[in-house]
Amino acid sequence: MVNKDFFLALEDLESEKGISQEVFLEALKNALVIAYKRNSGIAGDIEVKLDPEKTRIQIFSVRNVVEEVVDKDREISVEEAREIKKTYKAGDVVREEISPKDFGRIAAQTAKQVIMQKLRETERDNTITQFSDKENEIMNCIVRRIEDKTVFVEIGKGDIEGVLLPSDQVPGEKYELNQKIKVFVKRVRNNGRNAQIMVSRTAAGLVQRLFENEVPEIRQGVVEIKAISREAGQRTKIAICAKDANVDPVGACVGNKGARVNAIVQELNGEKIDIIVWSEDPLEYIANALSPAKVIRVTAVEGEKVATVVVPDDKLSLAIGRDGQNARLAARLTGWKIDVKSESKVMAEIAAELSAAEPTEESAE
């Protein structure tokens, strides 16, 4: 029924797919049992023995020897059993080998289907195991196919497939077959039949991991990333602080002549990055977060995370940003609601309040 090449193929399967021969052989045993039962219509017990050393597979029907047969599929009478072997008695078990020629083409196809299902399940489990500790990490991958705007990438070694959904793609980025890109592993999803590695180019975690890779001080824990807010493809704000007073956190992230941050900007295809110094003082932190705009002062509503920021008139548009982007990212970064006002507007509001508070001539009399 099998030859030496069959068992050699099992060794190749183990090395290429990471599936042990024991797992495959167990799946094969179960598949052959199911296939035989479906093909023969017998509901009785079937036993399969595999001998890799002798490159042999044997299939047996198994029946218990009884005085009175109740279940023909699983039992055999003493009289009938003794026709096979004279020494059989009640309580013994009769195993009859089924000739391979009785194991037809339909049964073999059924066995193949069950085996392939087991292989898919095992590969899925191996994928989940292999990538379970890769979540929230960056990995290099290659674009292999694009279907309905969804990009499928080869990730890691072998044929593990990552899925880059449209929602995880940076607006404006174009992906081509065989293109090498870096992705952020969001999660490993087990959908029952297959395992999918969900990856992203828009996640804030991608920026964090890029900085960790480029900046030794971050990897060493000397500089800490406190928060990131991002609008992928356009702008990112990253708040950092130094745990060592002798270390310049911004200088560490920027690098010599901007080498470190420029490498990250290049990987993000020109996305702007604002490196913000984090502060324990929320008002100072808010002022820093509105970089590159200069801030005159910040006031807060007592008991609420609401701040009013005053900027020079000529810096108002810079502080707010196009379509409010700079102020919006600053608000996300700090966790505060931020109201940006020009200096002249604030002065006018103060003047109006003072004017309203002044007593009129009638009230003075």
* Predicted local confidence at residue 116, as pLDDT: 76
Q: How far is CA 174 from CA 146, 179, 202, 269, in A?
A: 11, 10, 14, 10
Domain CATH for 291: 3.30.300.20
Claim to verify: residue 268 and residue 292 sit in the same structural domain: no
pLDDT confidence band for 10 (50 / 70 / 90): low
Work out how many domains the chain is built from and give that number: 4
Q: Is 212 inside a domain boundary?
A: no
pLDDT confidence band for 263 (50 / 70 / 90): very high
Q: How far apart are CA 208 and CA 204, in angstroms?
A: 7
β partners of residue 227: 239
Assess whether pLDDT exceeds 60 at residue 96. Answer: yes
Claim to verify: residue 305 and residue 274 sit in the same structural domain: no
pLDDT confidence band for 295 (50 / 70 / 90): very high
Domain boundary among 112, 129, 146: 129
Domain boundary among 129, 160, 187: 129
Q: Is 210 inside a domain boundary?
A: no
pLDDT confidence band for 194 (50 / 70 / 90): low
Claim to verify: residue 104 and residue 175 sit in the same structural domain: no
Higher pLDDT, 263 or 42: 263
The radius of gyration of the chain's CA atoms, rounded to the nearest angstrom, is 35
Q: Is 180 inside a domain boundary?
A: yes
* Predicted local confidence at residue 364, as pLDDT: 47
Q: What is the pLDDT of residues 11-23, one digit of tens each?
A: 776 776 666 777 7
Claim to verify: residue 286 and residue 350 sit in the same structural domain: yes
Domain boundary among 81, 103, 129: 129
Claim to verify: residue 137 and residue 47 sit in the same structural domain: no
Q: Is 211 inside a domain boundary?
A: no
- Please say whether the beta carbons of 64 and 74 come within 8 A: yes
Claim to verify: residue 152 and residue 110 sit in the same structural domain: no
Q: Is 45 inside a domain boundary?
A: yes
| Stated pTM of the model | 0.69
Claim to verify: residue 360 and residue 296 sit in the same structural domain: yes
* Predicted local confidence at residue 351, as pLDDT: 85
Claim to verify: residue 24 and residue 118 sit in the same structural domain: yes
- Domain with 48, as residue range(s), is 4-129
Domain CATH for 147: 2.40.50.140
Q: Is 155 inside a domain boundary?
A: yes
Q: Is 138 inside a domain boundary?
A: yes
pLDDT confidence band for 1 (50 / 70 / 90): very low
Q: How far apart are CA 77 and CA 64, in angstroms?
A: 8
